[in-house]
Chains A and B, each alone.
Chain A
Amino acid sequence: MPRIRFDSVEKRYGQTQVLPPFDLTFEDGEFTVLVGPSGCGKSTTLRMLAGLEEVTSGEIWFDDRPITRLEPKDRDIAMVFQDYALYPHMNIAKNMSFALRLQRVPKAEIDAKVDRVARMLGIETLLQRKPGELSGGQRQRVAMGRALVRDASTFLFDEPLSNLDAKLRGKMRTELAEMRNTLDKNMVYVTHDQVEAMTLGDRIVVMANGLVQQQGSAEELFKAPANAFVAGFIGSPTMNFLNADLVEDNGTLAVRGPGFTLDLPPDFGARTRALSGPEVIVGIRPAGFQLASDRDARGSTIDLSIKVSEYLGNQTILVTMCGDHDIVVELDSAARFQRGTTTTFVVAPDHIMVFDKKTELRL
């Protein structure tokens, strides 16, 4: 499998710069997920890799081979489209074997390959039907099957699950994760869903506004986000952000905002040197809060008034207010909360992330 490298690739439509020159490397055999909100350039990146979109400047390399000017068919790639793009006039078997028939592969071999992939995806009974007679989930499988039959070195997925209902999406996600482990292929997967990104990606590339914000494993992105955007994008429910000032109180650093003062870890001082001013953004994940009444609770306290309490069985999600900011709190306990009451919570210092107000970079 080739190592795919984007070398200062740029994309413009006329005068509009969609993607400023950027570098990106997809390692051999890796499952890479490009994730970001819509319009961030992730699909354009994928389509440039596929050869469906021209590269304005720069070069894309497969190992040492420049492929920027190659036709899609010469790049040894297979792609699954967001809205399936099945050939409506061919039955499923014909759809899946289209590429092989174009390559004039012997019929017996085609049949064997189609049969194997169809079995793998559980669509062997549908082979004689037309795409119009299938449900959304079945069509999605066929679209995957069409790519898998190819045996290409690189697989591209353009939001393949976004048209499925939630339950089916979860199921397909699990199957994709299984597939990732059995196939030794390069896979590049585009999605706007951070859950898909976290569960599938060996490596996740977070994009926004045409720029790569951060790349790394799911754990890296979750525990050490580079900036406020990544911190807010990765994780569910999303991180709470509060405006605050950095203050020094009795020798320990703390962040103080309207209605709260939270202590920072003792070694935090060294990290504040890059700070452009005293104003910061404080980020706390919903799971970073504990009830003050818990026995092992430690850290600074914060009073939150409860707006909505959502009991989900194992956890309870609270939407609370701190000043005029909404704060989402996720608790393991099944304790019930009364609307409108104020409860004291505790935030441990190592659950607090601090971002520079101007640059939004994490300290």
Chain B
Amino acid sequence: MTQSYERQNPAFYALVLALVVMSVGPIYLMLTTSLRLNVDIMSDASALFFMPTLRNYETVLCNALWYEPAHVDYCDPTFGRALGNSLIVALVSTGVTLVVGCMAAYALVRFRFMGRGTLSLTTLMMRMVPPAVLLVPVFGIWTFQYHLDGTHAGIILVYVAMNLPFVIWILQSFIVQVPIQLEEAARIDGANAFQVFFLVVLPVIKPGLAAASIFTFRIAWNEFLIANALLDRSTRTVPVTIVNSLTEYGIDWGVIMATGMLLAVPPILFTFVASKQIITGMTAGAVKG
């Protein structure tokens, strides 16, 4: 048997190459820059050859490390703190969004009540409002009425509101697929409404919860606009901190890039863990297919 490969147009390979360079290039630049000293970054001579160093990372994490890096005269806690803030805000807002979202989605799918269709559609329409439009009113209300500016709770609330419509929408499509007989069987087995939901429906839609959590976590983690407006020095998240470190007196590119690399790690880990839960055929064997 002969194996034949279809001859591809060279332009196809060129296109693939261009796409790879475009997507990997910035990450490569970020990584190499984060491993250089500022002298190396600024000099033209060491574009390709330089001595990799972890100094920038040490600077970023100086107050989280167990030793005191020799080159750091003053340990700026900003970056380490920002990473902590980002983690708190992203994890808590993801958690709250999922808890509220799955219940809302279940109610929208399974319960019959007045205005159900409208409500279901409205949740998705909320998603169509650009965050920039919300920025000014949210800033005003959060700052002057509720004094939530500069607090974790304030920004978490915004992120929950922002992500909830999409999460409800995603989870609705998963809940619709749960065979109603499963819920009936559970009711006959003696489960009340909450037990049916938590012991039968939720485990079955775990893949949906994982997908929704990846989505919300990443949005909360990357969001800049509203975080920049609402948060203060001590509660800033990483994206805001990076931008704020670009000052007119000097830009420490090495540290910024190291922060960028560190910024990318949690979403990657989170996605990796969560996507393990996305296994197809979760309802296999539940009912005769």
Contact = CB atoms under 8 A, between A and B. Distances in A.
A52 interface: yes
Interface string A83-104: 1111111000000001100110
Nearest to B200: A87
A112 interface: no
B111 to A, nearest CB: 15
B20 interface: no
A343 to B, nearest CB: 45
Nearest to B206: A89
Interface in B126-185: 179, 181-182, 184-185
A89 B277 CA distance: 12
A226 to B, nearest CB: 33
B190 A99 contact: yes
A150 B189 contact: yes
Interface stretch (A35-43, A133-141, A186-194, A258-266): A133-141
A77 B188 contact: yes
A236 B185 CA distance: 34
A81 B185 contact: yes
Nearest to B283: A88
Contacts of A86: 185, 285-287
B288 A83 contact: yes
Interface string B189-209: 111100100011001101000
B242 interface: no
Interface residues of A, number: 32
B155 to A, nearest CB: 35
Contacts of A81: 181, 184-185, 287
Classify chain B: how many residues form its interface, as a range: 20 to 34
A50 B188 contact: yes
Given A52-B184, A132-B281, A85 B287 contact: yes
Contacts, number: 91
Contacts of B110: none
B186 interface: yes
B72 interface: no
Given A85-B179, A89-B203, A79 B188 contact: yes
A102 B195 contact: yes
Contact of B192 (A73, A83, A132): A73
Among A71, A87, A132, find the residue whose CB has the most chain B CB atoms closer than 10 A. Answer: A87
B284 interface: yes
B285 A131 contact: yes
Contacts of A163: 288
Contacts of B199: 98
Contacts of A130: 285
Contact of B186 (A78, A84, A98): A98
B75 interface: no
A50 B182 CA distance: 14
B233 interface: no
A63 B167 CA distance: 49
B188 A139 contact: no
Contacts of B204: 87-89
B284 A85 contact: no
A190 to B, nearest CB: 14
B175 to A, nearest CB: 14
A132 B279 CA distance: 13
Given A85-B179, A85-B182, A99 B189 contact: yes
B286 A84 contact: yes
B282 A89 contact: yes
Contacts of A102: 189-191, 195
A55 to B, nearest CB: 16
A71 B189 CA distance: 11
A72 interface: yes
A9 to B, nearest CB: 19
A215 to B, nearest CB: 25
A216 B181 CA distance: 31
A130 B284 CA distance: 9
Given A102-B195, A134-B285, A87 B190 contact: no
Nearest to B181: A85
A85 B283 contact: no
Contacts of B192: 71, 73
A177 to B, nearest CB: 23
B285 A88 contact: yes
B286 A85 contact: yes
Interface of A: 50-52, 71-73, 77-79, 81-89, 98-99, 102-103, 130-134, 136, 139, 146, 150, 163
8 contacts: A52-B188, A73-B190, A82-B288, A83-B288, A87-B200, A87-B203, A89-B203, A132-B284
Given A73-B189, A131-B286, A133-B285, 9 more contacts: A50-B188, A79-B184, A83-B179, A84-B288, A85-B286, A88-B284, A89-B203, A89-B204, A102-B190
Which 10 residue pairs are nearest across A and B when measured between Cβ atoms?
Answer: A131-B285, A132-B285, A132-B284, A85-B181, A99-B189, A83-B287, A83-B288, A73-B190, A85-B185, A89-B203
